Structure 1
Amino acid sequence: MKRPLVLVPYSAHSTPKRQLRYHLVHHKPISSVSVSTNQTKWNSRTNVIITHPTLVMMESCSSMHQLRQIQARMTLTGLINHTFPLSRLLAFCALADAGDIRYAHRLFRGIPEPNTFMWNTMIRAYNKARIPTTAFSFFLHMLRRRIPLDPRAFVFALKACGHFIGASEGESVHSLARKTRFDSDLLVRNGLVYFYADRGWLKDARRVFDEIPVKDVVTWTTMIDGYASCNCSDAAMELFGLMLVGDVEPNEVTMIAVLSACSQKGDLAMGKHVYEIMEKRNIRPGLSLHNALLDMYVKCGSMVAARGVFDKMETKDVFSWTSMVNGYAKCGDLESARRFFNHTPQKNVISWSAMIAGYSQNDKPEESLKLFHEMLRMGFVPVEHTLVSALSACGQLSCLSLGSWIHHYFVDGKRMPLSVTLANATIDMYAKCGSIDEAAEVFSSMSERNLISWNSMIAGYAANGRAKQAIEIFEEMKCMGHKPDDITFVSLLTACSHGGLVAEGQEYFDTMDRSYGIKPKREHYACMIDLLGRTGLLEEAYKLITNMPMQPCEAAWGALLNACRKHDHVELANLSVSNLLSLDPEDSGIYVLLSNISANERKWGDVRRVRSLMRNKGVKKIPGHSLIDIDGEFNEFLVADESHPQSEEIYRVVDKIFLLSKLEDSDWEL
């Protein structure tokens, strides 16, 4: 004879701390559905103590195949007709990683009278599946069918609203919570703070926050994290200070948000103070908090402290290793960055991107592209950041073939969307490789542009000698409502310099401060001196350099020296060299340029004096070199270099080319 089922009625408003016992003991386990201890259990999050064998297996279920067997057993025994077992079945299908939301939806539709928990399960499920419209439609159906609401229904509905573009849905949920007085529930209030803060509506979030009479750690953490996520680090730190003087203890999530604010601010002293608070309050950091602490030290430039944290971490993940790679790369220690990269146990695309970016940003484009090729050979699919770094390296090396391939394969091939950042990098690459028309084509195709887009195009036209197009783009930029910055004017003045547009350059230089409030910097003065010098106005250029409101830089004196070489002004050249050598006595180019100017004037005594000065100071001329990319391998050639393994064959081919060119010249003479 079977024992009757002992059921505990489900209550939608049960107190979370209350533990219920669900004791059903009249069936043996199904052997074919037993789960080994090595399988991962799904996070069921129930406060009910379950001892019935079938339901115990339900909690240990790890696949839909097992779930269907359990469901069949529950149907045969009639267990499926009871609310709690059915709700657990639905929860697995809807929420477990091994579940099936479509199966859950079919199961839900077959339930005659789903209770509040079941409705909430479906809203959660569609939120988890990133289908917020369906999640919110379940909430609306709850309202239409007058299903009793609970605080979690509002929280799940707000989470769905967070994915919508507009604000109306979320505000309507907030309004409904007020009407039904659920807005007095702390769970709902915390959900509202998160909804507004997550969308960046910090004033609305703070208004709800301030209205909460008794706050818990979730309330404080959500608001602090909202400020930190919106780069309002000062407000985040101020709120954290208020939290500390209250009676709510911060937890690990709080400290992660606070450390994020310190990272954004670059405030190392504050970061160290936060670490002291962690130790004082005995907050034992897990992996996530350790990584946040590590990230803070890296972004604040304290690699000694970062290394200290890293070495003490018992558990490290790819983020930990990549943080160290990033940190060393940003401070220019590429040797240490590469060592950490090589020792990263399991590299991902972010690890590769960090090292590729490190080389690219530290003037090591050859190493950057070598690593990029290796990454592709290893089967990693690059992300946007990887391509931006690779394109920058291509621009530095004038490696048009690879840069063009990246653009056509990933962007034109629809493998990567053309974001503003990626488009800017592509424009810069094409411009530096001399393909300004391709750069203009990418620029024209952009549906959205930022100031960097306009600056890149102006700089591209300037570098390629198209001064008029640079000015046209600048005027178009102004018409579109974009305000130029100091970088814009560097490119604009460079364009005027290359185009010999003295009047236009002088006008732009004068309007910087007058019209835009931008005080000219050393770079702008150097551009103007170059403009005046190129057009033969050497006296005006010298007058400008002597009247600069700051100490002239190497670029300014270098521009004047180059103008002196062009216009054979030896006296002013000597003055320029004197100032340049005081700034950088190891620059061999300065000596060579002065020697060439003296040689042009046939002042051989001055030439000998310059060469003697170079020998006495131990300055050696940097040999000319070229770089060739062959199937991803870079081959460097120096003047009179014989170190290449194929140097004999290379020189033999060069001699043949030289001989053929001589024959061509002879044919022309005939």
Structure 2
Amino acid sequence: MASEALRNSSSISASLFLIPCSLSRLRSSIHYPEAGSRISLSRRTTTRKFLAGTTSIRCSGSTNQTLRTCKNCKTQFDPLLNHPQACRFHTAHFGACARNGDFMEVFDLFKSMQMSKTLPDKYTVMSLLSVCPKLNSLALGSSVHGFVIKNEVRCCDLFVCNVLIDMYSKCGSVGSAVKVFNQMRERNLISWTALISALGIHGYAHEALKRFREMELLGFKPDKVAFIAVLSACRHGGLVEEGLELFQCMKQMYRVEPEMDHYECVVDLLSRFGHLQEAEQLISMMPFQPNAIIWRSFLAGCNRFSHTEEQVRG
């Protein structure tokens, strides 16, 4: 069962989504985290106390401060955990504990959510799914996915599905990523980009390119991230002509200015498959200084194909 798999996990780490909060501006307007805590604890009504609890956690600054605030708020606001929006408090606590590196506390919090019969919202689910690639735990990701389906949690929306595609891809299950994508009733540019990236990373360059073309035909305008995904797919699959064509149409068709990441992909593509003169020409035409990654890719290509710098220039 999903809940058992989560309970048996030994550690959890994550880059977490924090919930939107009506007091979110407090953090930028208060220079000292302690002030945020004092202000939040002064609220009298239940709803204000609840919002204050989440804000106290989010206003924490240093690592130790975060941990102290988490524990204090958990104690002081325990009566509010039956609040209709208690999931927001849990999710804010998730983020604070994750920032502190106390991943077992995140795990305990999710167990307490289950025990209190507090259904997770989409932010909680996205937080849990974000844990899995960092642990390289496909089993954990599948468990969270199964928990959502089995308990009929009505939070498996577009954004959660996008995170599911990314999670399955990074955990090595490209088939599951494709399955989630195919079952989606609604898709956006992020959905397509996540799928193209998943296919490219796992060596399905032709399929990634096919999906990119399909995305274009459906009227989605690729952005710089989508181009990084498809250029990376070309790099992994050795699609030199296709990669160069895409790089050219970035600016000409879609008015997307190539950035360092795009140049890294194309230079590596050219260098990796022996097109050293084209790679050198592209480097010389860059509107900014090439970074170490670009030079490393180019020199690795020179070494691989037994060329010296003089031979390349010749």
TM-score range, shorter chain: 0.7 to 0.9
| Structure 1 position 552, deviation (Å) | 2.5
In the alignment, which residue of structure 2 is the partner of 1:315? 42
Q: Is the Cα–Cα contact under 8 Å of residues 122 and 156 in structure 2 kept in the other structure?
A: no
Q: Is the Cα–Cα contact under 8 Å of residues 231 and 246 in structure 2 kept in the other structure?
A: yes
| Structure 1 position 529, deviation (Å) | 1.2
In the alignment, which residue of structure 2 is the partner of 1:336? 65
Q: Identity of aligned pairs, percent? A: 32
- Map 1:113-132 onto structure 2 (within 5 A): none
Q: Structure 1 pair 456/314, CA: closer, same or farther in 2 (3 Å)?
A: closer
- Inter-partner Cα distance in structure 2 for 1:306 and 1:554: 39
Q: Structure 1 pair 374/385, CA: closer, same or farther in 2 (3 Å)?
A: same
In the alignment, which residue of structure 1 is the partner of 2:256? 518
Q: Structure 1 pair 417/308, CA: closer, same or farther in 2 (3 Å)?
A: closer
In the alignment, which residue of structure 1 is the partner of 2:77? 346
- Map 1:187-206 onto structure 2 (within 5 A): none
Count how many residue pairs are aligned between Structure 1 and Structure 2.
273
- Map Cα deviations across residues 533-567 of structure 1 (whole Å, 9 max, x no partner): 21122343233223211232344334335545655
Q: Is the Cα–Cα contact under 8 Å of residues 529 and 559 in structure 1 kept in the other structure?
A: yes
| Structure 1 position 305, deviation (Å) | 5.7
Corresponding letter in the other structure for 2:109? M
In the alignment, which residue of structure 2 is the partner of 1:296? 25
- Map Cα deviations across residues 28-76 of structure 1 (whole Å, 9 max, x no partner): xxxxxxxxxxxxxxxxxxxxxxxxxxxxxxxxxxxxxxxxxxxxxxxxx
In the alignment, which residue of structure 2 is the partner of 1:664? none
The DSSP-based 3-state class of the residue aligned with 1:520 is: coil
- Inter-partner Cα distance in structure 2 for 1:414 and 1:314: 35
Q: Is the Cα–Cα contact under 8 Å of residues 341 and 351 in structure 1 kept in the other structure?
A: no
Corresponding letter in the other structure for 2:26? Y
In the alignment, which residue of structure 1 is the partner of 2:158? 420
The DSSP-based 3-state class of the residue aligned with 1:304 is: coil
Q: Is the Cα–Cα contact under 8 Å of residues 431 and 460 in structure 1 kept in the other structure?
A: yes
| Structure 1 position 304, deviation (Å) | 1.0
The DSSP-based 3-state class of the residue aligned with 2:25 is: helix
Q: Structure 1 pair 555/416, CA: closer, same or farther in 2 (3 Å)?
A: farther
- Inter-partner Cα distance in structure 1 for 2:149 and 2:142: 10
The DSSP-based 3-state class of the residue aligned with 1:484 is: coil
- Inter-partner Cα distance in structure 2 for 1:566 and 1:409: 48
Q: Structure 1 pair 551/367, CA: closer, same or farther in 2 (3 Å)?
A: farther
Q: Structure 1 pair 533/415, CA: closer, same or farther in 2 (3 Å)?
A: same
- Map Cα deviations across residues 352-384 of structure 1 (whole Å, 9 max, x no partner): 322434676x7x8x754x344212322254221
Candidates 127, 131, 135, aligned match of 1:389:
127
- Inter-partner Cα distance in structure 2 for 1:558 and 1:323: 45
Q: Is the Cα–Cα contact under 8 Å of residues 166 and 198 in structure 2 kept in the other structure?
A: yes
Candidates 139, 147, 150, aligned match of 1:409:
147
Q: Which has the higher contact order (CA 8 A, sep 6+)?
A: 2
Unaligned runs of 5+ residues in structure 1 are 1-263, 265-290, 573-670
Q: Is the Cα–Cα contact under 8 Å of residues 538 and 560 in structure 1 kept in the other structure?
A: yes
- Inter-partner Cα distance in structure 2 for 1:443 and 1:394: 18
Q: Structure 1 pair 532/359, CA: closer, same or farther in 2 (3 Å)?
A: farther
Unaligned runs of 5+ residues in structure 2 are 1-19, 44-48, 79-85
In the alignment, which residue of structure 2 is the partner of 1:616? none
The DSSP-based 3-state class of the residue aligned with 1:295 is: coil
Q: Structure 1 pair 297/551, CA: closer, same or farther in 2 (3 Å)?
A: farther
In the alignment, which residue of structure 2 is the partner of 1:375? 109
Question: 1:486 and 2:220 equivalent?
Answer: no
Q: Structure 1 pair 557/356, CA: closer, same or farther in 2 (3 Å)?
A: farther
- Map Cα deviations across residues 575-609 of structure 1 (whole Å, 9 max, x no partner): xxxxxxxxxxxxxxxxxxxxxxxxxxxxxxxxxxx
Q: Structure 1 pair 430/358, CA: closer, same or farther in 2 (3 Å)?
A: farther
| Structure 1 position 422, deviation (Å) | 0.8
- Inter-partner Cα distance in structure 2 for 1:477 and 1:428: 18
- Inter-partner Cα distance in structure 2 for 1:565 and 1:422: 44
Q: Is the Cα–Cα contact under 8 Å of residues 36 and 59 in structure 2 kept in the other structure?
A: no
Q: Structure 1 pair 313/375, CA: closer, same or farther in 2 (3 Å)?
A: closer
| Structure 1 position 472, deviation (Å) | 1.3
Corresponding letter in the other structure for 1:296? R
Q: Is the Cα–Cα contact under 8 Å of residues 141 and 167 in structure 2 kept in the other structure?
A: yes
- Map Cα deviations across residues 328-362 of structure 1 (whole Å, 9 max, x no partner): 58xxx5443333222212254323322434676x7
- Map 1:606-625 onto structure 2 (within 5 A): none
